[in-house]
């Protein structure tokens, strides 16, 4: 019977409110919800077509086991029992840390998935956790832990009220914003300009966001920390520091003054490519605005100095008086004080060291870029088994070719996914998960627990369609895996028994869902903790429930959870790390004139997993390209459509050239998330001819940012060579297999 449901999208951070039509357990149409309290009828092609993507015949519907060279369906009982036995034998004969887990982006978009996955790993007693955050944002967590006392204290620009927004290395018009929920970014950015404010975009490409901004400033890739240093130097020199506020709420300013003094705009200009007068004008706009904020994202995070860059940005927002100020940058409030709770109970605050490279964990996770070494290096705690949950590391992590070799050595590789993706294709067991429309949910941790939203609201959704075949939600999968491995969730037999008992009670009331963890009850408990009533009440408010608007002025001196309650402007790990700035400056100066490789996202792609739908590939979108400026192409004798080899210190890939004059000359861009030719379970994507750009990025301890463990995925030095032979579209790199 046809029905209409109200729910919200859980593909990206915009969490758009949706109206969904279903019939006979299938989604038949998706529209944006025009009456949604915050997203107000916004949506994008990926979200509105997700039923085609996720309703594909390729969707996993039963657990699979590798037998010889193929995958065969097995029962849940068999899969769980065999995985459990293998895990127990590895723990007994080796070490709990021999069992690793990689938590991918999709896991973050379900409230219970990461909690249960962590509970499972804690149960086993393993600390070998990895996540996609060392590909996109671990620098922000590492810096916040030092400056604000809690990794998830993440200030964000007050986009609804700011008069000057400076966006560095982010493209919210395409990516829909990160570390902040802003539905309809173009509209919000245009509104700033309309009220007489300024929007600067600092980016090596004149992006879709730059085109709606008031000003675009080109920057040479990987030089953002130098830009921030000069920004801060100029801010201080021009009297833009709110000394009273600094004195009262912050410590370490003297060290900052000393650090930035030599970095005048004139000194950095030849390296960043930002003329001193442009930089001064930007600082002037920032100072004179009635509320201003600097915001940066993956373009800065994925450089070689993501932690230094983000730290300097936060220092600028803080010392200028814009932190915790209306129109400046705000620290949101979720349904409860997560920072205080997290600090008190030590949530995600381990500081253990990795075996390889001695990296300190960030949010309890180690750098993904050392995972191959952790698998390949013999010794105690050597990784022998890997669970991959909602991610596709083989495509998205650095030096994927080496990672592939490492994965071949694993005794057990289990993926929990909606598809048999490239990583799963190498695995031993593939466990079929429900997709967002098939599970009840709350907004994920940033909006719900931290209020990281332009307009605060909460929402709950029932599942819109039931699981098909043997698909199960991840909370249930990890509860049952814990039992199969003979452990309790979070190492607590009591927690395990409590959830299992609740499931039994739930099963009496919902016989059709009796194997499931009572997700709705658990989410009710979370909501009650925050005084927000229960789950079904919130579901009843189908267009979302607005919460109190952000109040600036309640973070500093109150909700900052550092030991002395003050913002730490000069944490010692960052001051020490800053010692390398001079050397890096010289390196960058010497590199001027060479090519740098950057990233580029498209509205119809989402990292590695939205190429399995024909409509998203139409019109020449069935491959990625190397984008270059016409001048650069001409210099190399290349034309649009010709092939070129992109060569880094690690590897080479071969791609067709596309001219893009929005790029700063000297910069080339290659979209990531391609290279599906060997995916076993993606019938559409496996026929595309794109290549995996991440085989160009370095891995290993030397390739990793020291403070946060971030991989280096943008601003990579490369050479471009016109390719003589035709591309081999079946090889991972696009190069003939012998190359
Ligand atoms: N060169 C370069 N590399 C990059 C980036 C870049 O800009 N340039 N960006 C990086 C970024 S920002 C990130 S976050 C990482 C992403 O890294 P990953 O998280 O490893 O990659 P995704 O492609 O997002 O993988 C998501 C997986 O989750 C599955 N999935 C979707 N929905 C569900 C669900 O409901 N449940 C489960 N269990 N699975 C589901 C999908 O099928 C897919 O296999 O990659 C990074 N890599
Ligand atoms: N359509 C779509 N939306 C997505 C995703 C997707 O894959 N596709 N992925 C989602 C995920 S997981 C994330 S984390 C977010 C990421 O969201 P964003 O962080 O906004 O990521 P991008 O859109 O890649 O924007 C990064 C920008 O940095 C620029 N850049 C590259 N190198 C440098 C540099 O060295 N310095 C400076 N200043 N700029 C640089 C690039 O040109 C680009 O414009 O997007 C999310 N939304
Ligand atoms: S922008 Fe698109 S993918 Fe992101 S939440 Fe909205 S509809 Fe979903
Ligand atoms: Mo990401």
Q: Considering every ligand atom shown, identify the ligand nearest to the alpha carbon of residue 609 and give its number.
A: 1
With bands split at pLDDT 50, 70 and 90, how would you rate the model's confidence at 84? very high
| Cβ(299) – ligand 2 distance below 6 Å | yes
Tell me, in angstroms, the distance from the centre of ligand 1 to residue 105's CA: 5
CA–CA separation, 655 and 727 (whole Å): 7
For residue 729, pLDDT over 80 is answered with no
Q: Considering every ligand atom shown, identify the ligand nearest to the alpha carbon of residue 309 and give its number.
A: 2
- The hierarchical CATH code for the domain 3-48 is 3.30.200.210
CA–CA separation, 635 and 40 (whole Å): 48
Q: Looking at residue 738, what is its pLDDT?
A: 40
**Domain ranges, ordered by start, for the chain:** 3-48, 64-136+341-450+460-540, 158-333+554-578, 599-722
For residue 335, pLDDT over 60 is answered with yes
CA–CA separation, 669 and 677 (whole Å): 21
Q: Looking at residue 1, what is its pLDDT?
A: 86
Largest CA distance in the chain: 72
CA–CA separation, 351 and 293 (whole Å): 31
CATH fold for domain 64-136+341-450+460-540: Rossmann fold (3.40.50)
CATH number of 158-333+554-578: 3.40.228.10, 3.90.870.10, 3.40.640.10, 3.40.50.720?
Answer: 3.40.228.10
Q: Looking at residue 725, what is its pLDDT?
A: 63
Whether residue 46 contacts residue 603, with contact meaning beta carbons closer than 8 Å, is answered with yes
Residues of the chain above pLDDT 90, percent: 96
- Overall average pLDDT of the 47-57 stretch: 97
For residue 739, pLDDT over 60 is answered with no
Torsion angle (degrees, nearest 10) of CA 513, 516, 521, 525? -170
Q: Looking at residue 712, what is its pLDDT?
A: 98
For residue 656, pLDDT over 60 is answered with yes
Q: How many residues does this entry show for the chain?
A: 739
Kindly give the pairing relationship between strand 545-546 and strand 457-458: antiparallel
pLDDT tens figures, 706-717: 999 999 999 999
Helix axes 224-237, 276-288, angle to 10 degrees: 60
CA–CA separation, 273 and 244 (whole Å): 34
The residue whose C-alpha atom lies closest to atom 4 belonging to ligand 3 is 12
For residue 349, pLDDT over 70 is answered with yes
Across the strands, what pairs with 7?
18
pLDDT tens figures, 143-171: 999 999 999 999 999 999 999 999 999 99
The residue whose C-alpha atom lies closest to atom 18 belonging to ligand 1 is 391
DSSP character string of 569-637: SS-HHHHHHGGGHHHHHHHHHHHTTSEEEE----TT--TTSS-SSGGGTTTT-SS--EEE-HHHHHHHT
Q: Model-level pTM greater than 0.95?
A: yes
Minimum mean pLDDT range among 347-351, 393-397, 667-671: 347-351
Tell me, in angstroms, the distance from the centre of ligand 3 to residue 569's CA: 36
Q: Looking at residue 724, what is its pLDDT?
A: 80
Tell me, in angstroms, the distance from the centre of ligand 1 to residue 106's CA: 6
- Overall average pLDDT of the 497-506 stretch: 98
For residue 736, pLDDT over 90 is answered with no
The residue whose C-alpha atom lies closest to atom 11 belonging to ligand 1 is 136
| Cβ(444) – ligand 1 distance below 6 Å | no
Tell me, in angstroms, the distance from the centre of ligand 1 to residue 261's CA: 41
CA–CA separation, 464 and 9 (whole Å): 11
Helix axes 253-260, 306-319, angle to 10 degrees: 120
CA–CA separation, 708 and 705 (whole Å): 6
pLDDT tens figures, 418-454: 999 999 999 999 999 999 999 999 999 999 999 999 9
Closest CA to 223 of 668, 612, 714: 714
Tell me, in angstroms, the distance from the centre of ligand 1 to residue 136's CA: 10
- Overall average pLDDT of the 179-186 stretch: 95
For residue 256, pLDDT over 50 is answered with yes
Give residue for tokens 């299938």.
26
Across the strands, what pairs with 366?
130
Whether residue 463 contacts residue 438, with contact meaning beta carbons closer than 8 Å, is answered with yes
Across the strands, what pairs with 656?
643
| Cβ(296) – ligand 1 distance below 6 Å | no
| Cβ(220) – ligand 2 distance below 6 Å | no
| Cβ(132) – ligand 1 distance below 6 Å | yes
Q: What residue spans of 605-720 are helical by DSSP H?
A: 630-636
pLDDT tens figures, 64-77: 999 999 999 999 99
Q: Considering every ligand atom shown, identify the ligand nearest to the alpha carbon of residue 43 and give its number.
A: 3
Give residue for tokens 């000003």.
215
Tell me, in angstroms, the distance from the centre of ligand 4 to residue 243's CA: 36
Q: What is the mean pLDDT of the chain?
A: 96
Across the strands, what pairs with 658?
627
pLDDT tens figures, 185-215: 999 999 999 999 999 999 999 999 999 999 9
Residues of the chain above pLDDT 70, percent: 98
Q: Considering every ligand atom shown, identify the ligand nearest to the alpha carbon of residue 11 and give its number.
A: 3
- Overall average pLDDT of the 258-277 stretch: 98
CA–CA separation, 323 and 556 (whole Å): 8
**Kind and range of the H or E element at 340?**
helix 338-345
Domain 599-722 has CATH 3.30.200.20: no
């Amino acid at each position: 019977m046809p029905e209409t449901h109200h729910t919200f999208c859980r593909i990206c951070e915009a969490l758009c409110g949706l109206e969904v039509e279903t019939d006979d357990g299938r989604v038949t149409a998706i529209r944006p919800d025009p009456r949604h309290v915050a997203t107000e009828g916004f949506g994008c092609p990926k979200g509105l077509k997700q039923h085609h993507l996720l309703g594909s015949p390729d969707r996993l519907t039963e657990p699979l086991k590798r037998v010889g060279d193929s995958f065969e369906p097995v029962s849940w009982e068999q899969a769980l029992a065999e995985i459990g036995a293998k895990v127990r034998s590895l723990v007994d004969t080796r070490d709990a840390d021999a069992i690793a887990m990689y938590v991918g982006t999709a896991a973050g978009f379900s409230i219970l998935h990461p909690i249960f996955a962590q509970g499972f790993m804690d149960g086993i007693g393993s600390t070998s956790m990895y996540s996609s955050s060392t590909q996109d944002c671990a620098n922000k967590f590492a810096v916040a832990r030092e400056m604000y006392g809690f990794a998830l204290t993440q200030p964000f620009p007050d986009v609804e009220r700011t008069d000057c927004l400076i966006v560095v290395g982010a493209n919210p018009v395409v990516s829909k914003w990160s570390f902040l929920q802003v539905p309809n970014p173009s509209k919000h950015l245009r509104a700033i300009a309309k009220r007489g404010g300024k929007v600067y975009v600092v980016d090596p490409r004149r992006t879709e966001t730059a085109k709606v901004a008031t000003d675009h400033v080109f920057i040479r890739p990987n030089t953002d920390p130098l830009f921030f240093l000069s920004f801060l130097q100029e801010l201080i020199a021009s009297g833009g520091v709110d000394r009273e506020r600094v004195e009262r709420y912050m410590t370490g300013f003297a060290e900052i003054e000393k650090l930035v003094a030599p970095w005048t705009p004139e000194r950095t200009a030849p390296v960043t490519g930002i003329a001193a007068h442009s930089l001064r004008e930007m600082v002037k706009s920032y100072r004179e605005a009635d509320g201003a904020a600097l915001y940066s994202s993956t373009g800065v995070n994925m450089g070689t100095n993501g932690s230094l860059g983000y730290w300097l940005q936060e220092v600028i927002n803080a010392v200028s008086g814009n932190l915790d100020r209306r129109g400046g940058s705000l620290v949101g409030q979720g349904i409860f004080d997560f920072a205080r709770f997290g600090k008190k109970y030590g949530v995600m605050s381990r500081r253990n060291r990795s075996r390889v490279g001695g990296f300190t964990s960030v949010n309890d996770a180690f750098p993904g870029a050392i995972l191959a070494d952790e698998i390949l290096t013999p010794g105690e705690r050597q990784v022998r088994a890997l669970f991959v949950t909602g991610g596709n590391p083989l495509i998205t992590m650095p030096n994927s070719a080496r990672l592939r070799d490492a994965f071949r050595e694993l005794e057990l590789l289990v993926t929990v996914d909606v598809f048999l993706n490239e990583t799963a294709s190498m695995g031993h067991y593939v466990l079929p998960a429900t997709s967002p429309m098939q599970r009840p949910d709350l907004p994920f941790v940033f909006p719900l627990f931290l209020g990281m939203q332009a307009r605060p609201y909460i929402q709950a959704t029932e599942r819109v369609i039931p699981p098909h075949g043997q698909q199960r939600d991840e909370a249930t999968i990890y509860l049952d895996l814990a039992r199969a491995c003979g452990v309790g969730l979070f190492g607590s037999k009591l927690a395990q028994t409590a959830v299992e008992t609740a499931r039994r009670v739930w099963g009496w009331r919902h016989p059709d869902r009796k194997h499931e963890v009572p997700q709705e009850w658990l989410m009710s408990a979370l909501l009650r903790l925050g005084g927000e009533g229960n789950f079904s009440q919130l579901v009843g408010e189908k267009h979302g429930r607005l919460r109190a608007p952000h109040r600036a002025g309640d973070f500093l001196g109150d909700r900052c959870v550092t030991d002395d309650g003050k913002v730490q402007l000069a944490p010692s790990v960052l001051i020490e790390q800053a010692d390398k700035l001079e050397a890096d400056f010289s390196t960058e100066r010497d590199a001027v004139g060479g090519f740098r490789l950057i990233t580029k996202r498209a509205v119809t792609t989402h990292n590695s997993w939205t190429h399995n739908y024909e409509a998203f590939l139409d019109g020449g979108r069935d491959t990625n390209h190397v984008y270059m400026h016409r001048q650069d192409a001409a210099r190399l004798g290349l034309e649009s459509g010709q092939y070129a080899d992109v060569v880094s210190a690690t590897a080479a890939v071969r791609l067709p050239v596309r001219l893009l004059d929005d790029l700063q000359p000297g910069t080339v861009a290659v979209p990531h998330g391609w290279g599906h030719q060997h995916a076993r379970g993606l019938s559409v994507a496996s026929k595309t001819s794109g290549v995996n750009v991440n085989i160009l990025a370095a891995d290993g301890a030397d390739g990793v940012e020291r403070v946060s463990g971030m991989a280096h995925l943008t601003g990579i030095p490369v050479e471009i060579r016109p390719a003589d032979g035709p591309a081999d579209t079946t090889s991972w790199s696009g190069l003939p297999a012998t190359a």
